[in-house]
């Protein structure tokens, strides 16, 4: 996983945790508010009952108790609706708006976090953006080198990469030295033109890559040859693991226009 992906994953986790914290706080505040409201009503009821007892004289109290006993068997009185003062109504409305705003914000954060994780998930498992197993190195070389001495790039669709030969005997004279892009005499070129991003096709007759959008040309090693492209084709870090070529598509390298070309171009008729 590249640093960029790790940062994005960290942001997504923070967002999800923030959403969870907001929901938890909102729930606790609502529970506290409910508890306070229950106590207030209960206290009001107690005080309403207590007031006549304090004020009443003994005979009046006995009379009242008799009346209560007489009316005990009757069905409970219908609860009267509680009327709210304008201040109480305003308070209730403010609470509702606060909760609605908090819930909307929390839902947005949760949605953002989940979609970010969903976006990153395939990259963590592999595929473009992660490490791609291109295949057995011997078989890749057998597919590249043609009987007539020409080459045909080995295309790895999952990595959007052309695997091509690279002459390691001259790598110290190039900008590709020490950046991990050449392994076992092979290098992996990202298919995207470094000018404006068109996919660059292979031209078998000239033995190079020629961009159909604005005419940039690169030789078989992906080195800049002509056109508006500002540099060589970008390439990915490679590893050889148990005889297999692994392309790290989360780790692209760019290099300036090559001064020292490692392969001749063109070797025949251009396609453009
Ligand atoms: S996008 Fe390839 S030359 Fe412009």
Mean pLDDT of 196-202: 98
Alpha carbon of 211 to ligand 1 centroid (Å): 6
272 CB within 6 A, ligand 1: no
Q: Does 124 or 247 have the greater pLDDT score?
A: 247
Say how far apart CA 22 and CA 10 lie, in whole Å: 18
User: What's the Cα-to-Cα distance from 231 to each of 19, 187, 204, 226, 258, rounded to whole Å?
Assistant: 44, 16, 22, 10, 8
- Segment 36-48 shows an average pLDDT of 55
pLDDT higher at 252 or 36 = 252
pLDDT for the residue numbered 56: 46
The mean of the pLDDT values for the chain is 82
Nearest CA owner, ligand 1 atom 1: 196
**Residue ID of nearest Cα to ligand 1 atom 3:** 214
Cis ω for the linkage preceding 158 (within 30 of 0): no
Does ligand 1 come within 6 angstroms of the Cβ of 231?
A: no
Query: How many whole angstroms from 209 Cα to the centroid of ligand 1?
Result: 11
195 pLDDT higher than 70: yes
Least confident of 110-119, 180-189, 260-269: 110-119
Please list, in sequence order, all residues whose beta carbon lies within 8 angstroms of the beta carbon of residue 105, skipping any fewer than 6 positions away. 22
**Given ligand 1 and candidates 190, 211, 226, which is best to mutate, with the most ligand atoms within 8 Å of its CB?**
211
User: Could you count the other beta carbons within 10 Å of the beta carbon of residue 16?
Assistant: 17
Q: Is the pLDDT of residue 123 over 80?
A: no
Does residue 214's CB lie within 6 angstroms of at least one atom of ligand 1?
Answer: yes
Beta carbon of 229 within 6 Å of any ligand 1 atom: yes
Mean pLDDT lowest for which of 19-33, 79-93, 96-110? 19-33
Average pLDDT over residues 145-166: 97
Q: Rounded to the nearest whole angstrom, what is the distance from the C-alpha of residue 193 to the centroid of ligand 1?
A: 6
Ligand 1 centroid distance, CA of 191 (Å): 12
In ligand 1, which atom is closest to the CA atom of 215?
Answer: 3
- SS3 string of the chain? CCHHHHHHHHHHHHHHHHHHHHHHHHHHHHHHHHHHHHHHHHHHHHHHHHHHHHHCCHHHHHHHHHHHHHHCCCCCCCCCCCCCCHHHHHHHHHHHHHHHHHHHHHHHHHHHHHHHHHHHHHHHHCCECEEEEEEEHHHHHHHHECCCCCECCEEEHHHCEEEEECCHHHHHHCCCCCCCCEECCEEEEECECCCCCCECCEECCCCEEECCCCCCEEECCCCEEECCCCECCCEEEEEEECCEEEEEEEEEECCECCCCCCCCCCCCCCCC
User: Using 50, 70 and 90 to split pLDDT, how confident is the model at 261?
Assistant: very high
For ligand 1, say whether the CB of 117 is within 6 Å of any of its atoms.
no
pLDDT confidence band for 91 (50 / 70 / 90)? confident
Q: In angstroms, rounded to a whole number, what is the distance separating the alpha carbons of residues 41 and 53?
A: 19
Residue 223 CB contacts under 8 Å (≥ 6 apart), including other chains = 232, 233, 257, 258, 261, 262, 263, 265
Structure tokens that stand for 213 in this block: 């959008």
- Nearest residue to 247 (alpha-carbon basis) of 260, 234, 264: 234
Q: With cut-offs at 50, 70 and 90, classify the pLDDT of residue 85.
A: confident
Kindly give the distance from the C-alpha atom of residue 248 to the centroid of ligand 1, in angstroms, as a whole number.
24
Given a cut of 80, whether residue 1 has pLDDT beyond it is no
| Minimum CA distance residue for ligand 1 atom 4 | 214
- Interatomic CA distance for residues 96 and 29, integer angstroms: 12
Cβ(111)–Cβ(104) below 8 Å:
no
Per-residue pLDDT at 67? 62
Q: Tell me the pLDDT band of 83, cut-offs 50, 70 and 90.
A: confident
Q: Is 117's pLDDT higher than 50?
A: yes
- Of the candidate ranges 112-121, 132-141, 152-161, the one whose mean pLDDT is the lowest: 112-121
Q: What is the mean pLDDT of residues 187-212?
A: 98
Mean pLDDT of 104-133: 75
Which of 192, 198, 224, 230 is the best mutation target for the ligand 1 pocket, counting ligand atoms within 8 Å of the beta carbon and taking the most?
198
Choose between 160 and 22: higher pLDDT. 160
Residue 138, pLDDT above cutoff 70: yes
Q: What is the pLDDT of residue 69?
A: 55
């Amino acid at each position: 996983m590249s640093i960029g992906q790790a940062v994005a994953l960290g942001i997504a986790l923070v967002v999800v945790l923030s959403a969870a914290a907001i929901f938890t706080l909102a729930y606790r505040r609502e529970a506290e508010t409910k508890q306070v409201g229950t106590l207030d009503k209960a206290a009001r009821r107690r005080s309403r009952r207590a007031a006549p007892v304090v004020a009443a004289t003994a005979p009046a109290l006995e009379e009242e108790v008799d009346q209560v006993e007489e009316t005990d068997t009757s069905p409970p009185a219908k609860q009267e609706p509680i009327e709210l003062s304008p201040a109480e109504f305003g308070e209730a409305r403010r609470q509702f708006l606060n909760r609605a705003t908090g819930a909307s914000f929390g839902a947005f954060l949760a949605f953002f976090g989940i979609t970010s994780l969903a976006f990153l998930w395939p990259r963590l498992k592999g595929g473009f953006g992660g490490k791609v197993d291109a295949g057995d190195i011997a078989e890749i070389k057998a597919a590249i080198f043609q009987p007539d001495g020409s080459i045909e790039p080995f295309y790895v669709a999952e990595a959007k990469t052309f695997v091509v030969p690279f002459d390691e005997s001259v790598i110290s004279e190039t900008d590709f030295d020490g950046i991990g892009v050449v392994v076992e005499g092979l290098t992996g070129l990202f298919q995207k033109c470094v000018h404006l991003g068109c996919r660059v096709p292979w031209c078998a007759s000239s033995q190079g890559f020629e961009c159909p959008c604005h005419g940039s040309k690169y030789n078989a090693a992906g080195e800049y040859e002509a056109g508006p492209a500002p540099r060589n084709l970008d390439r990915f870090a490679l590893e050889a693991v148990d005889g297999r070529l692994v392309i790290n598509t989360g780790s692209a390298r760019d290099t300036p226009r090559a001064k020292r070309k490692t392969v001749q171009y063109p070797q025949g008729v251009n396609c453009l």
